Amino acid sequence: MNKVLVTGANGFVGSHLVKDLSENNIKVTGVGGDHAASDKSPYITDYIVLDLMDSKAAQKIDFSDVDGVIHLAGLAAPGPSFNEPLQYITTNMGIEANLFEAALAQNAKPRFLIVSSGTLYDPKAPMPLIETSAVCPSSPYAVSKIGQEQLAHYYGLRGFECLIARPFNHIGPGQNPGFIVPDITKQVVEFEKGLAREVLVGNLDSKRDYTDVRDIARAYRLLLEKGNPGETYNICSGTALSGHEILSHILSAAGCGPDIVRDPLKTQPSDRPVLYGSHQKITDDTGWRPEIKIDKTIHDVVEDWRQRI
């Protein structure tokens, strides 16, 4: 790969991905909305500001010298999707369709990596979850991701080499609130700085599979380079941690002990007891495996919030 187009390049994952690509001698063209226009990453060769929901605007992307596309742009927080189901479904599927159609109009066929989600799997399926495990979407966000996967299969029939990544929970520095790790860490650092008296949490009993975002970024690059077209790949740690364990890691890294208060409003309708996956397939095909330990990840998240607040 000489040049890769990254949508959502200035987002949480995108900022780590463009760094990884650049450090591996791959030129990056980033695509994002107006809010990111003044925040161009030093790792991005070219940056295009446009609304990917506008099909005519998407046609402005020059695919002529693009070898691959890693599609990250879209609505990424499952929780709010329950209140805005139509927006999630139309946005996440619409952006992807516009990208493929823009490439088709230019008679260009770069390799596409479509980022789906590990939240698609049926929680009743045997653990660890593998790529052939049953799916049972439990949120409008998950529905939108299944739609994105089906679009990838459709455009595969149109001549594109498409791969699908199903990342499980990914965490790390730069992640905004709306997810368990940044939500808790932000409050803990506010307590540390005398700005809060307690930390509100949701259901901490659920166990999830967490991977450092920097490992996720590396996985995306390796999949684009070495993955098999038409295949779906889990990206995960292979182990499950409870919310209690996550909280313990955060408090240990911060070195403080605020009062912890359960907030029913923070409990999502889709909460499931245990979910973790297997990364055997991506390991076999690309050599990828998670490398960054949870202690390192949480330490970096705490330091990130100390700088933000």
The residue written with tokens 């699908």 in the block is 164
Which amino acid type is present at position 243?
Answer: G
- pLDDT means per 10 residues, the chain with 309 residues, are 95 95 97 63 89 95 97 89 96 98 98 96 92 92 96 98 97 94 98 96 93 98 98 98 97 96 74 88 98 98 98
Which amino acid type is present at position 86?
Answer: L
The pLDDT of residue 271 is 58
In CATH, the architecture of 180-207+240-276+294-308 is: Alpha-Beta Complex (3.90)
Cα–Cα distance measured from residue 4 to residue 7, given in angstroms and rounded to the nearest whole number: 10
The pLDDT of residue 38 is 44
The pLDDT of residue 245 is 98
The pLDDT of residue 186 is 98
Cα–Cα distance measured from residue 167 to residue 171, given in angstroms and rounded to the nearest whole number: 11
Give residue limits of the domains in the chain: 3-171+211-238+278-286, 180-207+240-276+294-308
Are domains 3-171+211-238+278-286 and 180-207+240-276+294-308 of this chain identical in fold?
no
Among 195, 207, 228, 74, residue whose Cα is nearest residue 145: 74
Tokens of 103: 């490439």
CA 128 to chain centre: 20
Fold of the domain built from segment(s) 3-171+211-238+278-286: Rossmann fold (3.40.50)
pTM of the model: 0.94
Alpha-carbon Rg for the chain in angstroms: 19
Among 197, 231, 164, 206, residue whose Cα is nearest residue 78: 206
Half-sphere exposure of 5 (CA within 13 A, CB side): 26
DSSP string, 66-86: --EEEE--S---HHHHTT-HH
Tokens of 258: 């605020």
The residue written with tokens 């990342």 in the block is 167
Do the beta carbons of residue 146 and residue 120 sit within 8 Å?
A: yes
Omega cis (within 30) before 137: no
